[in-house]
Amino acid sequence: MKLENLRKMEVCSELMLPYILTGIICLLVGILLIGIPVGIQVRKQTAEKEITSAEEEAKRIINESIKSAESKKREALVEAKEEILKARNDFEREMKEHRSDLQKQERRLQQKEENLDKKTENIEKKEENLQRKLNELEEAREEVSTVKKTQMEVLERISGFTAEEAKAYLINQLEVEVTHESAMKIREIEAQFKDEADTKAKEILSLAIQRCAADHVAEATVSVVPLPNDEMKGRIIGREGRNIRTLETMTGVDLIIDDTPEAITVSCFDPVRREIARIALEKLIQDGRIHPARIEEMVEKAKREVDATIKAEGERAVFETNVHGLHPELIKLLGRMKYRTSYGQNVLNHSIEVSHLAGLLAAEIGADVTQAKRAGLLHDLGKSIDHEVEGSHVQIGVELARKYKENEEIVHAIEAHHNDVEPRTIVACLVQAADAISAARPGARRENLENYIKRLEKLEEVTSSFPGVEKSFAIQAGREVRIMVAPDKVSEDQMVLLAREIAKKIEDELEYPGQIKINMLRETKVIEYAK
């Protein structure tokens, strides 16, 4: 029963459902059709009210704006008028001040113009006065010039010279007279002195022989050149002695041509010059062409040969002592010591001996043999150029060693070998001991010979110190000095004065036995080549 009722209710509900939905839809459509027009009408009325109120408000705002603008316009006009009035007053005040300043400046300018006018008038008056004085001076100057010219013309006409010629003539005449008178006076004094000095010279001649022993001097200062025959002596002398004079002048030696058969003696205290002269003379004898030009050529060749020998001797000393790494210039300086003697002892042989001794001593005590031999070889290096450079041979040797980059130990040994400084190293002490051993060898040192050579070197140094002297050579064992002067710097009369000055300086600065002859030569020579 219940199931049937349920089925009947489900069927009824299924049949009523479309009708219900249709009713709902119709209800909704009716509501929409009625509500839309009503809503539109209500909205329209509300909008009209808002537009009306807005128009009224706009009109009110416009009216208020117009009133405010008119008020601000009136205020601006008032302010503008006030500003214009104020500006006008300020401008009028500034204009008054400016006019006042202008008036003051005008008054000052007027005063300045008045002052300038007064000054201009004063200046014009002064210019007139000055111009008048200048005219007067010019007239006086012309008058003086005319008078002077007239007097000069009269003097020139009387004397036969112009003013410049007369001045030059007077100066030259005065110079000639003074020079001639001085030369004549000196000649008179010298003649008197020579007469009085002959006796004195004879008295001290023995002293000269004693101070310089003849055999020692001859060994160190004389070389003998053999000749093929005695006829060659005349060719070497040449016509009027031109050949021998040229050779002696270029080498600074003294050629002794005596009765010795087939031999010529070359005498000079400087072994280098003596060797150059000996080699040149031998070459001339072999060549057979003996004249001044050939002599000059052979002397130059001999100088080059001696330079080569010096280099070879330096290399020999380095090889013998087994000292390596020396600067080439140091080797050349060692070679120069072949021609240097110290108290009669050859300096190069002495240095080699000291090097060997120092090496042996170093080997005995276990010191550095290489350093000892090197320092021993270089210890007298300064003696190679001590006649050319100021200072002792120790100082010169130190400077040379430093110049050519020897180490400080070697430099110190050179500096300390004569106790110039206290020895600080074993090598310095060894070199000092080896030097003393070598010098103590019998016959190694001769004091008189060393003093003799130093005296001759000093003599050449003194004579070469005068202006106009080109060359000077000490010859005849220091009893004569030969001086070559420049002919363009020293005249004939000036030679007398110069010779006297040289003699005076020799007397004041040197000590020597007997007298020294000053032989001064003046020669003009011109050389040209035809091409």
Give the CA distances from residue 307 to residues 319, 329, 351, 477, 510, in Å, rounded to whole numbers and listed in that order.
Answer: 19, 12, 20, 26, 32
The HSE-up count of residue 269 (CA atoms within 13 Å, CB side) is: 26
Pairing relation of β-strands 469-475 and 263-267? unpaired
pLDDT at position 366? 79
* Cβ count near 462 (within 10 Å): 18
Instruction: Give the domain CATH number at 403.
Output: 1.10.3210.10
* Cβ count near 374 (within 10 Å): 28
Asked whether residue 261 falls in the same domain as residue 349, the answer is: no
> What residues form DSSP beta bridges with 223?
266
Q: Which amino acid is at 95?
A: M
Angle in degrees, 0-180, between the axes of helices 447-464 and 492-509, rounded to the nearest 10: 140
* Cβ count near 150 (within 10 Å): 10
Pairing relation of β-strands 263-267 and 254-256? antiparallel
- pLDDT value at 27 more than 60: yes
Looking at 445, 460, 477, the residue that finishes a domain is 445
Name the burial class of residue 283, with classes exposed (0-12), middle (13-18) and buried (19+) by CB atoms within 10 angstroms of its CB: middle
| Confidence label for 218 from pLDDT (cuts 50, 70 and 90) | very low
CB 201 within 8 A of CB 513: no
From the list 495, 500, 440, 450, the residue with the least C-alpha distance to 469 is 495
Alpha helices, H only, 473-530? 492-509
* Mean pLDDT in residue range 181-205: 65
* Mean pLDDT in residue range 492-517: 83
| Confidence label for 213 from pLDDT (cuts 50, 70 and 90) | very low
412 within domain boundaries: yes
> Domain count of the chain?
3
pLDDT tens column, 505-531: 888 888 776 678 888 888 877 777 776
Asked whether residue 256 falls in the same domain as residue 358, the answer is: no
526 within domain boundaries: no
The DSSP H or E segment spanning 124 is: helix 2-159
Q: By three-state DSSP, how is residue 2 classified?
A: helix
* Cβ count near 357 (within 10 Å): 21
Asked whether residue 296 falls in the same domain as residue 376, the answer is: no
* Mean pLDDT in residue range 281-304: 86
Looking at 424, 445, 466, the residue that finishes a domain is 445
pLDDT tens column, 265-278: 887 777 778 888 88
pLDDT at position 419? 80
Looking at 445, 465, 497, the residue that finishes a domain is 445
145 within domain boundaries: yes
481 within domain boundaries: no
Asked whether residue 377 falls in the same domain as residue 439, the answer is: yes
| Confidence label for 61 from pLDDT (cuts 50, 70 and 90) | confident
CA distance 227 to 262: 5
CB 518 within 8 A of CB 503: yes
Asked whether residue 331 falls in the same domain as residue 299, the answer is: no
CB 348 within 8 A of CB 317: yes
CA distance 341 to 383: 9
The strands making up 517-522's β-sheet, listed across from edge to edge, are: 469-475, 480-485, 517-522
Asked whether residue 329 falls in the same domain as residue 282, the answer is: no
pLDDT at position 187? 76
* Mean pLDDT in residue range 340-352: 79
Asked whether residue 388 falls in the same domain as residue 338, the answer is: yes
- pLDDT value at 445 more than 60: no
Asked whether residue 345 falls in the same domain as residue 296, the answer is: no
| Confidence label for 204 from pLDDT (cuts 50, 70 and 90) | very low
| Confidence label for 63 from pLDDT (cuts 50, 70 and 90) | confident
Q: Which residue range is the domain that position 81 belongs to?
A: 48-156
Asked whether residue 331 falls in the same domain as residue 437, the answer is: yes
pLDDT at position 210? 34
502 within domain boundaries: no
pLDDT tens column, 298-316: 888 888 888 888 888 888 8
- pLDDT value at 239 more than 60: yes
Give the CA distances from residue 430 to residues 356, 381, 383, in Å, rounded to whole numbers and listed in that order.
Answer: 11, 17, 20
Asked whether residue 290 falls in the same domain as residue 362, the answer is: no
228 within domain boundaries: yes
pLDDT at position 306? 86
Instruction: Give the domain CATH number at 254.
Output: 3.30.1370.10
Say which residues have a Cβ less than 8 Å from residue 452's Cβ, sequence separation at least 6.
211, 212, 217, 269, 478
* For the chain, percent of residues with pLDDT exceeding 90: 0
Residues in the chain: 531
pLDDT at position 216? 35
Asked whether residue 219 falls in the same domain as residue 279, the answer is: yes
* Mean pLDDT in residue range 1-5: 57
pLDDT at position 217? 39
* Mean pLDDT in residue range 237-248: 82
pLDDT at position 450? 63
CB 463 within 8 A of CB 484: no
147 within domain boundaries: yes
Asked whether residue 329 falls in the same domain as residue 424, the answer is: yes
212 φ/ψ sector (left φ>0, alpha ψ -120 to 50, else beta):
beta
CA distance 522 to 492: 8
19 within domain boundaries: no
Backbone phi, then psi, for 481, in 5-degree steps?
A: -125, 125
Give the CA distances from residue 190 to residues 286, 461, 507, in Å, rounded to whole numbers and listed in that order.
Answer: 45, 23, 14
